[in-house]
Amino acid sequence: QLDSELLWGTYRPNLYFGTRPRLPNTLLSGLMWFGLDETNWQNIRHSCELGDNLSEYGYQRHNGRDFGEQMLRDKDHGVEIKSEFIKVSGDNGGSWAVRFSGQTTADNEEGVALVYYFGLEGNGTMAMNVGKGSAKIVGKTDDLGLFSVRIVPSAKNRFPDVAEKLQSVPELSSVGSKISGIAVSVPKTDVWRAKDVFQREMFISARKKINFIAKHIDPDAAKSGSVLFAMDNDGLKKRGRNLFFTQMVVRGKFSFDVIYECEDRAATIDRKDIDSIVKSRRSAFDHRFEATFGLRGKGFSEKHIDMARDAVSSLVGGIGYFYGSGLVSKDPKPEYGISEDVSEPELSEPYSLFATTPSRPFFPRGFLWDEGFHQLVLGQWDSGICMEIIRSWFATMDADGWIAREQILGSEARSKVPPEFQ
């Protein structure tokens, strides 16, 4: 029962928002966004990076199981985004939904592109259809069974204004849509590179649009990012695609829902219920937080309570599931005081780890030493999750009783580590 409750989660802590199940070679999802001026499209937001200079990101509340909310404030791209994640128990890990809402800032005249994707890095099938007001993905894998996904933007979302001349170009008919998308095929080992894939496809599409504008209007005609970087539903009808992107181009206030549902009919999620579920679980979280730590009863101010709540939630929201091979030397380990003249490390057999992470942008992976301190807090908050993590760490022990203090599993994890430290 515990495994099923904890199968799905926000287990990609290296991303501003991403989900995956605790399964190897499986279904991944994630959020991306970028401003539509001349430069920001080159700096798509996806993984947590110190250089992105977000003034705020991190969970204000996260219970580790079925609720988490965070605020993302990106001044450079002129947007504020709130994510509200919920989960409903059911077969194969149940169903989940996330509501993204926010607004572009007053100084953002171009708008922002919001992108949500799903990618299959293992065996299985997926297909996507994009309609006027929503997109739907249906798929199947051996581990997850049949599943469906709905990506539904609010009817109130507003597309940035487009010059009349550009609206007259026949090949730009998809511009102004509430939602659009593309489907591509990539090696299964490259699904985690979703940002790079999307940026490449977007650049190819933008070049085509520039040629269309030059053909029908004028090579020097003003071009807006909302036109050049809007997706055109390419590749949706082709079979064998394993990476699907949906995009919403907006200006002003916006919201959209992503709803993943397993085939268990008892675990369906109605869009109309998301707000009430979020409100209920937010209240339950605050009550449980006080019952667990008793800060208000001890006389702490609301400001200090908010800080503690954010700290615990960021710790819980930083829990991740990692799978892949690590670089390991077969010789005795130098950290035990033995000579550092050891053989070159080799890739191990792939294995998994369920762990907290010290830092989402800088150390988004498991560290044994840090884990002990993290569990002093997490053990008080949720002993079940604490035991799952400890069990996962002990499962990495080798035949000599050694546990690697830093776990860098798979290509995605290694991409965040300088080669000399891998």
Helix axes 274-293, 368-381, angle to 10 degrees: 100
On whether the CB atoms of residues 83 and 45 are closer than 8 A, the answer is no
Per-residue pLDDT of the chain (422 residues; tens, 9 = 90+): 456 789 999 999 999 999 999 999 999 999 999 999 878 878 999 999 999 999 999 999 999 999 999 999 999 999 999 999 999 988 888 999 999 999 999 999 889 999 999 999 999 999 999 998 999 999 999 999 999 999 999 999 998 877 767 766 766 766 778 999 999 999 999 999 999 999 999 988 888 888 877 777 766 655 678 788 888 887 788 888 999 999 999 999 999 999 999 999 888 999 999 999 999 999 999 999 999 999 999 999 999 999 999 999 999 999 999 999 887 777 655 555 555 666 777 888 899 999 999 999 888 999 999 999 999 999 999 999 999 999 999 999 988 888 888 898 988 988 888 776 65
The whole-number pLDDT of residue 9 equals 96
Pick from 123, 87, 118: nearest CA to 6: 87
Prediction pTM value = 0.93
φ, ψ (nearest 5 deg) of residue 71: -120, 135
Cα–Cα dist 227/215, whole Å: 16
Tokens representing 293 are 């730590």
What are the strands, taking DSSP E only, across 78-177? 79-88, 95-104, 112-120, 125-130, 135-141, 145-153
Cβ 158 vs Cβ 252: under 8 Å? yes
Q: What is the pLDDT of residue 399?
A: 85
Question: Given the structure tokens 């969970």, which residue do they identify?
Answer: 59
Joined together, the tokens standing for residue 72 give: 């993302």
DSSP bridge pairs for 102: 81, 254
State which H helix or E strand residue 372 sits in.
helix 368-381
HSE (side-chain half, CA atoms, 13 Å) at 133: 4
Total Cβ atoms within 10 A of residue 80 = 18
> Closest by alpha carbon to 16, among 45, 53, 55, 40?
45
Distance CA 130, CA 149 (A): 12
Task: Quote the tokens at residue 397.
Answer: 């022990």
pLDDT of residue 312: 98
- CA 8 and chain centroid, separation: 12
User: What residues are paired with 146 via a beta bridge?
Assistant: 140
pLDDT at 169: 72
